[in-house]
Amino acid sequence: MKNGRCWVVSSAIRRRTTKPRWFTSGLSARRFGKALRGLRQRSRLRGLSRRARASITFRLARAGTGVDHIPVGPDGKPTDANQYRAELEKLEHSLAWAAETGRAQHDAYDKIAKKQKDRGELIEATRSAFLYVFVGREPRGDRMLSKYRMEPNPAYKPTSRSTAIFAKVRGYAWIDDEAGQLARVEVEVTDDIAIGGFLAKVYKGSHFMQERYEMAPGLWLPSYSQYDFDGRRLFVSFSIHERTFYTNYRRIGPPNEALATIRAELGKSATVNADP
């Protein structure tokens, strides 16, 4: 959610040899290409000698150019008041910086805009990279979804390393008939995918799925994501088996509005600079 916050419950099964470090997915709509980039950031934590299971709940808030993760209890309430306040003060600091209009902020937002543009182009490429075969219609609650099988288009010519992965994945997409929005997607890797040349590889059989709902009029966001990836980074194997549930989305606005909200929660003055 671009200018909002939500509670996120993340349940993960991960193998590792290092001290546990838990990550949750971001708030934006998840794409397969983005899932692979996230995998690169996390794969260093996967040394596979034993299993560990944990559930952790975060309060997530958009903090200008990033997303702030504040640990809370399973009921969404703070478990340690002092730690919670300290985390809110860190968020306040990030939002205060993001609400400024200096060169550093301008450059940071330009980088975000470029990433969003690249992701948009990647999603647009899926229109021609896959052949979509209608399978049938399925009900979900009081709405109908049209299910399509996604097969790599043999005539498609990739234009980048990111689009080259499309030839090695296939899956299904469910479209909400009324809204014309992606409601669910399941993707499976059908051949090993090299990342960064020889630096990393995602193995055949890895799987990603996501459920999406209309959280506000015209705004579709994830409610559930699942990652089951196996591969290697350099000479170290990794395995990611993660389940993330998203609930209680609430809008808190751009940095200046969000800053006022957080300062009010901290019992501070809500005076801030104009939004960049």
Residue 269 is predicted with a pLDDT of: 57
- The strand ranges marked E within the chain are 4-15, 51-63, 66-72, 130-140, 143-152, 169-176, 182-189, 193-195, 200-202, 207-216, 219-233, 236-251
Residue 195 is predicted with a pLDDT of: 85
pLDDT along the chain (276 residues), means of 10: 41 28 29 26 32 74 84 87 94 93 92 91 94 97 97 94 94 97 96 86 95 92 92 89 88 89 83 43
Residue 65 is predicted with a pLDDT of: 82
Q: Six-digit token pair at 236?
A: 């170290």
Torsion of CA 217, 125, 114, 30, to 10 degrees: 50
DSSP string, 139-197: EETTEEEEEEEEEE-TT----SHHHHGGGGEEEEEEEETTT--EEEEEEEE-S-EEETT
Rounded distance between C-alpha atoms, residue 264 and residue 170, angstroms = 48
For 119: left if phi > 0, alpha if psi spans -120 to 50, otherwise beta; the answer is alpha
Q: Is 72 helix (H, G, I), strand (E, B) or coil?
A: strand
CB-based contacts of 246, cutoff 8 Å, min separation 6: 6, 7, 8, 27, 221, 222, 223, 224, 225
Residue 43 is predicted with a pLDDT of: 25
Residue 179 is predicted with a pLDDT of: 96
Residue 171 is predicted with a pLDDT of: 97
- Other CB atoms within 10 A of residue 166 CB: 21
Write down the pTM of the prediction: 0.75
Q: Strand 143-152 relative to strand 169-176: parallel, antiparallel, unpaired?
A: antiparallel
